[in-house]
């Protein structure tokens, strides 16, 4: 998913540089949304991984 965020970011920046600001901005917004989703999933798995190593008493 992070790969897709980077792809959308690069495409958005290229489109913005070529003068397609509206479409480029939309691509950058999609990239930001994908990045935040990836960050949330990472944090959830990090917490689950830390809790999985603990013994239940």
The residue that leads in pLDDT, 4 or 1, is 4
pTM: 0.79
Question: What does the block give as tokens for 32?
Answer: 């930001």
pLDDT tier for residue 33 given thresholds of 50, 70 and 90? very high
Confidence (pLDDT) at 10: 95
User: For residues 2 and 32, what is the distance between their CA atoms, to the nearest angstrom?
Assistant: 10
> Could you give the angle at the alpha carbon of 23 between the alpha carbons of 16 and 37, nearest 5°?
100
């Amino acid at each position: 998913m992070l790969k897709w965020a980077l792809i959308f970011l690069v495409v958005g920046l290229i489109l913005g540089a070529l003068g397609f600001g509206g479409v480029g901005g939309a691509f950058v917004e999609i990239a930001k949304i994908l990045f935040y989703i990836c960050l949330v999933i990472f944090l959830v798995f990090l917490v689950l991984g830390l809790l999985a190593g603990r013994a239940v008493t």
